[in-house]
């Protein structure tokens, strides 16, 4: 785990592997940085080797305690924001890792950006550094016990953000909590199906609850039967792995009022079931639990940052497998709220397990419900890998999420849940069917299906993260590398933080 902390004083005064200096296009390096490099910083600018363009870097050597200085370009100041800073920090960390440095100092831009205070910028730098320093693999190396192998040591980078004042220090501490929750979500999301089982996910939630400070209750199949979770049990039927339902609660002292309930799809491997998927890239379906992982990570972040509001996290978790006992197309299931579901396609399983979780939320008397799910391939057609889709029953809630997305870097875009789309999931034989109208509005059909299970009168939003939950290409985008992105943790945290302050 990467350690990130705030530090005041002379950025070149401590012994660090390198100091990264973030500069806008045309901005001159600070005098003390220039001096520390014996004038090399200025020469790099004068020669035109470093112009501050986005992604541009110059690695310089000095004679001080910190032997390396990285100039890192932010690009033009106009239109810059938090995301500009995150990307540049990502570049700096990438270079530090290539150089196998053990520690890195970062000097945030002097005048960060419009709408971004110096304290905010310090937080943004800390968060991006911790996210960029994260890496995941199951590679091994020699040197284990009895001449065997052991897990290969990943890169460990200590990051110091140079910032003065209590506000900046608080922002960095909060950013560290959020990054820790995000990296936990990524760690769990990256686990392959054989290791990241529903049981393992539930255990990880329990462990994190003890560490971060939230309560965790795990429902077993017998509990699900007793409650009538026909959706979750219906999906789990084809698998040898038993399902789990994780119920987490963060209730800080003094926080009153109804909780916000976060729900996450924890499908640990989606083969499609009897409506089996093509084998091409099926391995990526280990990421189908990323919504659930994000909810566990969000509870962790909220608890670690001690936000003053009540939050509940619900994660229904199972595999979706074909088998002799698997649910078949045409089968009818009964969900927790008593509604019957015609299963026309066993690959539309996420909505089946979320149905029970949404209905279960009723007993918590929620102020609002937000669910996160890798629900549809269709959302990738609509929004690609840049934004998640958001839809729901409450415009204010969707707008609050959109705003939180802009601030956190996990951006979402609204999709409509007009009444007319409701027809797409009407069934001839049951209350609702799990398949929409062919290729028409697949993500909205998913949203409309879920809507049938949302407790009456509770504001609800559904975030479809299928396009943004993981990066399949290396190096991935910007400060997040390959693999699970933890999408949803930063978004949920920022949404809840703003709500707590309102």
Query: Catalytic site residues?
Result: 277, 351
Minimum CB separation of residue 389 from ligand BES in Å reads 12
Cβ(197)–Cβ(205) below 8 Å: no
CB nearer to ligand BES: give 58 or 185: 185
Q: Determine, following the binding rule CB under 5 A, whether residue 83 of this chain makes contact with Zn ion.
A: no
378 binds, among ligand BES, Mn ion, Zn ion, none (CB under 5 to 8 A by kind): ligand BES
Report the nearest approach of ligand BES to the CB of residue 468 (Å): 10
Residue ranges with strand state E in 62-123? 68-75, 103-107
Contacts of residue 139, Cβ cutoff 8 Å, sequence gap at least 6: 151, 152
Instruction: Confirm if 56 and 142 have CB atoms less than 8 A apart.
Output: no
CB of residue 342 vs ligand BES: minimum separation in angstroms?
13
Q: Indicate whether 345 belongs to the interface with ligand BES (CB under 6 A).
A: yes
Instruction: Tell me if 371 contacts Zn ion by CB under 5 A.
Output: no
Query: Which residue blocks in 378-480 are alpha helix, DSSP H?
Result: 378-383, 395-408, 419-422, 442-451
Handedness of CA 33, 35, 39, 45 (dihedral sign): positive
Q: Closer to Mn ion at the Cβ: 62 or 316?
A: 316
Query: Applying CB under 5 A, does 270 fall inside the site for Zn ion?
Result: yes
- The least distance separating ligand BES from the CB of residue 227, rounded to whole angstroms, comes to 23
Cα–Cα distance list, 184 to 90, 201, 388 (Å): 19, 11, 20
Give, in order, the Cα–Cα distances in Å from 335 to each of 191, 266, 360: 29, 17, 10
Of 230, 259, 350, 392, which lies in the binding site for ligand BES, with binding defined by CB under 6 A?
350
Best CA proximity match to 472, nearest among 342, 341, 380? 380
- Interactions with ligand BES, residue window 304-343 (CB under 6 A): none
For residues 152 and 381, which CB has a smaller minimum distance to ligand BES in the complex? 381
Strand locations in 321-449 (E): 332-334, 340-342, 368-373, 388-392, 412-414, 432-433
Q: Is 410 in the site for ligand BES (CB under 6 A)?
A: no
Q: Is 350 in the site for Zn ion (CB under 5 A)?
A: yes
Q: Pick from 160, 318, 376, 408: which binds ligand BES (CB under 6 A)? A: 376
Q: What are phi and psi of 390, to 5 degrees?
A: -125, 140
- Choose the stretch contacting ligand BES; rule: CB under 6 A; options: 109-117, 358-366, 375-383, 451-459: 375-383
Residue among 83, 91, 208, 288 that touches ligand BES (CB under 6 A) = 288
Smallest distance from Zn ion to CB 277, Å: 9
Around 408, how many Cα atoms within 13 Å sit in the side-chain half-sphere?
Answer: 29
Q: What is the dihedral of CA 82, 84, 90, 96, to 10 degrees?
A: -110
CB of 502 to Zn ion, least distance (A): 34
Is 371 one of the binding residues for ligand BES (CB under 6 A)? Answer: no
Confirm or reject binding of residue 91 to Zn ion (CB under 5 A). Answer: no
Task: Give the residue nearest to Zn ion (CB).
Answer: 270
- DSSP class of residue 147 equals G
**DSSP class of residue 437?**
B
CA distance 296 to 311: 11
Is residue 270 part of the contact set for Mn ion (CB under 5 A)? yes
CB of 156 to Mn ion, least distance (A): 37
Q: Which of 319, 342, 347, 410 binds Mn ion (CB under 5 A)?
A: 347
CA separation for the pair 139, 55 (Å, rounded): 30
What distance in Å separates the CA atoms of residue 148 and residue 212, rounded to the nearest whole number? 34
The stretch near ligand BES (CB under 6 A) out of 58-66, 370-378, 385-393, 420-428 is 370-378
Should residue 348 be labelled a site residue for ligand BES when binding is judged by CB under 6 A?
yes
Segment interacting with ligand BES, rule: CB under 6 A, options 133-141, 348-356, 448-456, 493-501: 348-356
Q: Which of 91, 288, 410, 494 binds Zn ion (CB under 5 A)?
A: 288
Cα 310 to Cα 29, 281, 355, 364, 365: the distances in Å are 45, 39, 23, 11, 12
Q: List all residues 6 or more positions away from 210 whose beta carbon is below 8 Å from its beta carbon.
A: none
Q: How many residues bind Mn ion (CB under 5 A)?
A: 3
How far is residue 179's CA from residue 2's CA, in Å, rounded to a whole number? 10
Query: Choosing among Mn ion, Zn ion, ligand BES, none, which partner's interface includes residue 435 (Cβ < 5 to 8 Å by kind)?
Result: ligand BES
Structure tokens at 377: 């391939």
Helix residue ranges per DSSP H, 213-345: 221-227, 230-236, 290-304
Contact call for residue 435 and ligand BES (CB under 6 A): yes
Give min distance, CB of 212 to Mn ion, in A: 31
Per CB under 6 A, contacts with ligand BES among 450-469 are: 466
CB of 273 to ligand BES, least distance (A): 9
Task: Kindly calculate the radius of gyration of the chain based on its CA atoms and give it in whole angstroms.
Answer: 24
Q: Which stretch binds Mn ion (CB under 5 A): 60-68, 159-167, 179-187, 263-271?
A: 263-271
Residue numbers at the binding site for Mn ion (CB under 5 A): 270, 347, 349
Q: Which residues bind ligand BES (CB under 6 A)?
A: 270, 288, 345, 347-350, 374, 376-378, 435, 442, 466
Binding site for Zn ion (CB under 5 A): 267, 270, 288, 350
């Amino acid at each position: 785990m990467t350690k990130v902390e705030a530090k005041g004083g002379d950025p070149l005064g401590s012994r660090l592997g390198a100091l990264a200096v973030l500069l806008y296009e045309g901005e001159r390096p600070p005098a003390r940085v220039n001096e520390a490099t014996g004038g090399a910083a200025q020469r790099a600018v004068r020669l035109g080797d470093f112009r501050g363009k986005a992604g541009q870097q110059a690695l310089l050597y000095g004679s001080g305690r910190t032997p390396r200085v990285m100039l890192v370009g932010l690009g033009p100041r106009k239109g810059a924001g938090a995301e500009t800073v995150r990307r540049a920090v990502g570049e700096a960390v990438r270079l530090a890792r290539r150089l196998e440095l053990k520690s890195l100092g970062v000097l945030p831009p002097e005048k960060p950006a419009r709408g971004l205070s110096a304290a905010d910028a310090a937080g943004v730098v800390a968060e991006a550094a911790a996210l960029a320093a994260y890496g995941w693999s199951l590679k091994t190396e020699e040197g284990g016990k009895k001449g065997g192998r052991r897990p290969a040591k990943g890169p460990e980078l200590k990051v110091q953000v140079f910032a003065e004042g209590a506000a900046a220090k608080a922002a960095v501490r909060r950013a560290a909590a959020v990054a820790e929750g995000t990296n936990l979500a990524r760690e769990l999301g990256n686990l392959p199906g054989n290791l990241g089982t529903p049981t393992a996910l539930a255990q990880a939630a329990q462990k994190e609850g003890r560490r971060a400070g939230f309560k965790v209750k795990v429902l077993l199949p017998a509990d699900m039967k007793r409650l009538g979770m026909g959706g979750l049990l219906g999906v789990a039927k084809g698998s040898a792995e038993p399902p789990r339902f994780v119920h987490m609660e963060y209730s800080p002292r003094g926080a009153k009022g109804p909780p916000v309930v976060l729900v996450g799809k924890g499908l640990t491997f989606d083969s499609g079931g009897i409506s089996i998927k093509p084998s091409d890239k099926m391995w990526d379906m280990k990421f189908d639990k990323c919504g659930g992982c994000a909810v566990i990570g969000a509870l962790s972040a909220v608890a670690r940052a001690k936000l003053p509001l009540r939050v509940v996290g619900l994660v229904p978790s199972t595999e979706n497998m074909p088998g002799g006992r698997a649910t078949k197309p045409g089968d009818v299931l009964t969900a927790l709220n008593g509604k019957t579901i015609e299963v026309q396609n066993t690959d539309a399983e996420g909505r089946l397990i979320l149905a029970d979780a949404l209905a279960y939320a009723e007993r918590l008397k929620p102020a609002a419900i937000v669910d996160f799910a890798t629900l549809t391939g269709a959302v990738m057609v609509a929004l690609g890998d840049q934004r998640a889709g958001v839809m729901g029953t409450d415009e204010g809630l969707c707008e609050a999420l959109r705003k939180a997305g802009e601030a956190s870097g996990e951006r979402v875009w609204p999709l409509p849940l007009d009444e007319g789309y409701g027809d797409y999931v009407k069934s001839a034989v049951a209350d609702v069917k799990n398949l929409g109208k062919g290729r028409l509005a697949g993500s909205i059909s998913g949203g409309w299906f879920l809507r049938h299970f949302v407790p009456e009168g509770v504001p609800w939003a559904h975030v479809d993260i299928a396009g943004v939950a993981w990066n399949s290409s290396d190096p991935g985008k910007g400060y997040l590398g390959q693999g699970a992105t933890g999408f949803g943790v930063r978004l949920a945290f920022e949404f809840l933080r703003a709500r707590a302050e309102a």
